[in-house]
């Protein structure tokens, strides 16, 4: 691209000028010609054709028709007032519907006059209707809108007030597009264009703004989505190749005493074949002299902890330290305890460092780390602090990766030189597309099978009105010696209302399950961690039978005797989170239950989610559904999904384009890692100049 030209202020675009340029800059951050070119319409209106009512295709969302009104009458449907117009052309009939503004319709629309109607069609069986259509008498029609397929640009109130109309946008963009033909260069190779049947870049940009036809709009969208995803994936591949090339990693060649001993004498069960496979993959990484960056995906309860322990033993056997990072203190504590217990007969020192470690303790740990006395450090974010230095850190493990950001991963890299091997583990299965666009530079291992003997947790949906029967069921379970989790949604830890729900719930549980027969613990995010631990401990030691909590319990907690998970207001959780919570039970060999409590009236969406939970137990399948239902933001949390903000591409729906883009990025770099071949020059040029890929330049220059 000719950057000089494209970086010129929009002030010089015909029809803009200083005042408008300032206004557009302030309101929409449109400053340069490039900004304007990149400012795609957010939707389109097809005014290029009129449909016969009879011929409206069922998949066409918005249509334009010409016809006459036969009747106007007010009706009531399910207590709701509405106004119904029967609208005819010579092929058929469609209903126009209003739910408000009745007077306007009755006063201004005339029976038997001719109108142009535009709007979104809804089908009730074979009957089409349009609610709140745009309707204009035929004589008024031509003056106001271009009769073509055209885009709608996002605008602001101020712009509208100052006379910046949609027509104006179209006009200035038309002017820009006319002047840039020579400045927009192709940025994909001709073989890619050919292979995936993509139109050229200039044509795509023109048609995304001013589509000549529906077909060309589709082609342009496809082309520009491909481009976005291609450079995104190319970025991941370049980063990864560069890392592999430049960064050496520690070699752990020895299979030493600790691991052998542990495998033979301590390992409390036979590893599943997936666990073995993953350990093998990691061992290979340890041998090839490069730094490992691997993501381990395994459903809740699939046994990731033991895998992490065994690979840490490999590091130790080779003279290196390891650390494992957990998102909460509860979880860090739990890891610390289970590791210490499993390693009790070994000459392996495990330490725990969290936000609540006392200064004295902390100082001791710091010096143990430096002297090499500590072999395994378990902890929370506290590990990331700069004061925490190791003698020889060889392996860092991050548990529940989705709770951490990329920046934190990077901090671990700096704890040794060369950087330690990194293993990130997640129990929120991420659909493949998401994993590719988020962790495209990581290698991925999967544990898909659960340890043998697990009985699938029985999941049921109960309405609030059935609460008494649920309580009775809980009592039966408790009398059988089982324990129960009761979780309240706390979407936002500071929300007063949520706390009230939790505390009210707690009170009513204590009333319903009185002492001395029953003991109840409570854990939530606002408690001091000492109190949290105390309550947790009582539950773990079976001193209490019911644990009332917020979602702090969601991550990783392991109490095999707990067999019932009751989730209150389950409709407020996403599928992935519900699945995480459900994973807290079914860890022993007893029949276990997950009870989803909801209010009596549910939205369609919530109903679908709850039904899916009841039917599907596979976390990977649920993640796919969740992604479709709620989008990446709800699966990953906003921080990470921010990285997925593409202009056009939508990784939920554009899977095929994403796969193609990824494969061609990989293939191109395989044969031409520095993009030196003539035919790849357009790609190279793009990387050297464009803002979204400029930071990649260092990898190929």
Residues that bind ligand ADP (CB under 6 A): 269, 271-272, 275, 298, 300-306, 427, 451, 556, 558, 560, 587
Q: Are 114 and 138 in contact (CB under 8 A)?
A: yes
Cα 367 from Cα 443, distance rounded (Å) = 34
CA distances (Å), origin 391, targets 260, 280, 293, 366, 387? 25, 27, 21, 10, 13
Give Cβ neighbours of residue 119 (< 8 Å, ≥ 6 apart): 62, 63, 96, 130, 131, 132, 133, 134
Q: At its nearest, how many Å lie between ligand ADP and the CB of residue 347?
A: 23
Cα 463 from Cα 184, distance rounded (Å) = 59
Nearer to ligand ADP, 259 or 502 (CB): 259
Q: Which of residues 538-557 bind Mg ion (CB under 5 A)?
A: 556
Other beta carbons less than 10 A from residue 29's beta carbon: 9
Nearer to ligand ADP, 299 or 498 (CB): 299
Q: Identify what 437 binds: ligand ADP, Mg ion, none; CB under 5 to 8 Å per kind.
A: none
Nearer to Mg ion, 65 or 397 (CB): 397
Nearer to ligand ADP, 431 or 556 (CB): 556
Q: Which residue is nearest to Mg ion (CB)?
A: 556
Cα 80 from Cα 634, distance rounded (Å) = 34
Q: At its nearest, how many Å lie between ligand ADP and the CB of residue 42?
A: 41
Nearer to ligand ADP, 133 or 303 (CB): 303
Nearer to ligand ADP, 316 or 427 (CB): 427
Q: At its nearest, how many Å lie between Mg ion and the CB of residue 334?
A: 9
Question: Quick one: which of 313, 307, 297 has its CA closest to 350?
Answer: 313
Q: Identify what 298 binds: ligand ADP, Mg ion, none; CB under 5 to 8 Å per kind.
A: ligand ADP
Torsion of CA 503, 507, 508, 513, to 10 degrees: 130
Q: At its nearest, how many Å lie between Mg ion and the CB of residue 413?
A: 23
Q: At its nearest, how many Å lie between Mg ion and the CB of residue 553?
A: 13
Other beta carbons less than 10 A from residue 465's beta carbon: 9
Q: At its nearest, how many Å lie between Mg ion and the CB of residue 331?
A: 8
Phi, psi angle pair for 25, to nearest 5°: -65, -45
Nearer to ligand ADP, 430 or 657 (CB): 430
Q: At its nearest, how many Å lie between ligand ADP and the CB of residue 273?
A: 9
Cα 551 from Cα 570, distance rounded (Å) = 12
Nearer to Mg ion, 556 or 632 (CB): 556
Contact between 303 and Mg ion by CB under 5 A: the answer reads no
Task: Look at residue 500 and give its three-state secondary structure.
Answer: helix
Question: Strand 134-137 to strand 114-124: parallel, antiparallel, or no bridges (unpaired)?
Answer: antiparallel
Q: At its nearest, how many Å lie between Mg ion and the CB of residue 666?
A: 31
Build a one-symbol-per-residue string for 231-250: x at contacts with Mg ion by CB under 5 A, - elsewhere: --------------------
Output the 3-class SS for 103-132.
HHHHHHCCCCCEEEEEEEEEEECCEEEEEC
Phi, psi angle pair for 200, to nearest 5°: -75, 165
Q: Total residues contacting Mg ion (rule CB under 5 A)?
A: 1
Contact between 67 and Mg ion by CB under 5 A: the answer reads no
Helix (H), strand (E) counts: the chain: 28, 21
Strands, E, within 510-592: which ranges?
520-523, 546-549, 562-567
Nearer to Mg ion, 306 or 487 (CB): 306
Q: Identify what 300 binds: Mg ion, ligand ADP, none; CB under 5 to 8 Å per kind.
A: ligand ADP
Q: Which residue is nearest to ligand ADP (CB)?
A: 303
Q: Identify what 235 binds: Mg ion, ligand ADP, none; CB under 5 to 8 Å per kind.
A: none
Q: At its nearest, how many Å lie between Mg ion and the CB of residue 425?
A: 7
Which residues of this protein are in contact with Mg ion, per CB under 5 A? 556
């Amino acid at each position: 691209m000719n950057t000089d030209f494209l970086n010129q202020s929009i002030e010089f675009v015909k029809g803009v000028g200083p005042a408008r340029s300032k206004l557009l800059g302030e309101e929409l951050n449109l400053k340069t010609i490039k900004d304007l070119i990149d400012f795609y319409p957010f939707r389109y209106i097809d005014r290029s054709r009129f449909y016969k009512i009879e011929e409206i295709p069922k998949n066409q969302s918005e249509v334009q028709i010409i016809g006459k009104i036969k009747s106007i009458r007010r009706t009531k449907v399910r207590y709701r007032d509405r106004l119904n117009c029967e609208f005819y052309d010579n092929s058929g009939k469609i209903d126009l519907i209003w739910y408000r503004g009745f007077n306007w319709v009755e006063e201004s629309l005339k029976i038997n006059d001719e109108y142009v109607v535009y709007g979104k069609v809804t089908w009730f069986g074979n009957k089409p209707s349009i609610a709140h259509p745009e309707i204009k008498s035929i004589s008024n029609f031509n003056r106001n809108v271009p009769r073509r397929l055209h885009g709608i640009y996002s605008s602001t109130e101020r712009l509208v007030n100052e006379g910046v109309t949609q027509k104006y946008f179209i006009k200035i963009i038309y002017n820009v597009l006319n002047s840039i033909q020579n400045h927009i260069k192709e940025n994909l190779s001709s073989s890619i264009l050919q292979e995936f049947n993509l139109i050229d870049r200039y044509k795509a940009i023109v048609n995304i703004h001013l589509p000549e036809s529906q077909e060309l709009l589709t082609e342009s969208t496809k082309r520009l989505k491909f481009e976005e995803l291609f450079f995104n994936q190319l970025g991941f591949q370049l980063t990864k190749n560069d890392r592999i090339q430049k960064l050496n990693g520690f070699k752990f060649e020895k299979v030493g005493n600790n691991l052998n001993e542990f495998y033979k004498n301590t390992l409390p069960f036979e590893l599943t074949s997936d666990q073995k496979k993953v350990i093998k993959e990691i061992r290979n990484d340890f041998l090839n002299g490069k730094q490992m960056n691997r993501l381990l995906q395994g459903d809740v309860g699939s046994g990731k902890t033991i895998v992490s322990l065994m690979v840490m033993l490999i590091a130790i056997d080779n003279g290196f330290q390891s650390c494992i990072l957990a998102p909460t203190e509860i979880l860090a504590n739990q890891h610390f305890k289970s590791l210490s217990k499993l390693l009790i007969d070994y000459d392996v020192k495990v330490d725990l460092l969290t936000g609540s470690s006392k200064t004295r303790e902390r100082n001791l740990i710091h010096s143990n780390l430096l002297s090499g006395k500590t072999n395994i450090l378990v902890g929370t974010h506290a590990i990331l602090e700069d004061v925490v230095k190791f003698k020889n850190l060889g392996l860092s493990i991050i548990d529940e990766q989705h709770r951490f950001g990329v920046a934190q991963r990077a901090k671990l890299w700096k704890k040794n030189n060369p950087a330690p091997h990194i293993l990130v583990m997640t129990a929120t299965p991420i659909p493949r597309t998401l994993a590719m666009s988020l962790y495209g530079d990581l290698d991925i291992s999967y544990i898909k099978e659960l340890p043998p003997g697990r009985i699938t947790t029985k999941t049921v949906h109960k309405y609030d009105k059935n609460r008494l029967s649920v309580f009775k069921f809980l009592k039966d379970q408790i009398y059988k010696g089982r324990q129960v989790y009761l979780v309240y949604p706390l979407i936002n830890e500071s929300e007063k209302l949520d706390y009230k729900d939790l505390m009210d719930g707690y009170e009513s549980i204590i009333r319903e399950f009185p002492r001395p027969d029953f003991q109840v613990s409570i854990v939530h995010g606002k408690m001091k961690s000492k109190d949290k631990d105390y309550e947790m401990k009582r539950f773990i030691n079976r001193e209490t039978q019911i644990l009332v909590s917020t979602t702090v319990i969601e991550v990783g907690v392991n109490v095999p005797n707990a067999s019932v998970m009751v989730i209150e207001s389950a409709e407020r959780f996403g599928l992935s989170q519900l699945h995480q919570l459900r994973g807290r039970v079914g860890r022993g060999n007893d029949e276990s239950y997950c009870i989803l409590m909801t209010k009596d009236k549910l939205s369609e969406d919530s109903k679908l989610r709850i039904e899916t939970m009841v039917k599907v137990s596979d976390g990977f399948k649920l993640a796919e559904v969740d992604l479709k239902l709620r989008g990446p933001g709800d699966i990953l949390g906003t921080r990470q999904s921010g990285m997925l903000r593409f202009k056009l591409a939508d990784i939920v729906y554009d899977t095929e384009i994403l796969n193609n883009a990824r494969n061609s990025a990989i293939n191109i770099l395989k044969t031409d890692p520095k993009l030196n071949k003539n035919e790849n020059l357009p790609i190279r040029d793009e990387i050297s100049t464009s803002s979204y890929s400029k930071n990649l330049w260092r990898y190929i220059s």
